[in-house]
Amino acid sequence: MTSRLNEQDQQRVNQYLSAPQHQVERQAFKPWRLLLVVLAVVLGLGLLSRLLSHLVH
């Protein structure tokens, strides 16, 4: 794949991406964990909402 950048700009991009702060190893993305966290937050907020509605009435 050819780059749309000129040679000088491509060199600057390559230098930027090769800096140590951009070479951080990350853990694998876990979609099931994200789904579990989102589900827990939604359920928690729903339960809190029900609790508050019972306290008001």
For 45, half-sphere exposure in the C-beta direction (CA atoms, 13 angstrom radius) is: 5
**Which of 4-34 are b and which e, b meaning 16 or more Cβ less than 10 Å from the residue's Cβ?**
eeeeeeeeeeeeeeeeeeeeeeeeeeeeeee
pLDDT of residue 1: 61
The pair phi, psi for residue 47, each rounded to 5°, is -65, -40
pLDDT of residue 24: 85
Q: What is the pLDDT of residues 1-57, one digit of tens each?
A: 677 889 999 999 999 999 988 888 889 999 999 999 999 999 999 999 999 999 997
Q: Taking the complete model, does pTM exceed 0.75, yes or no?
A: no
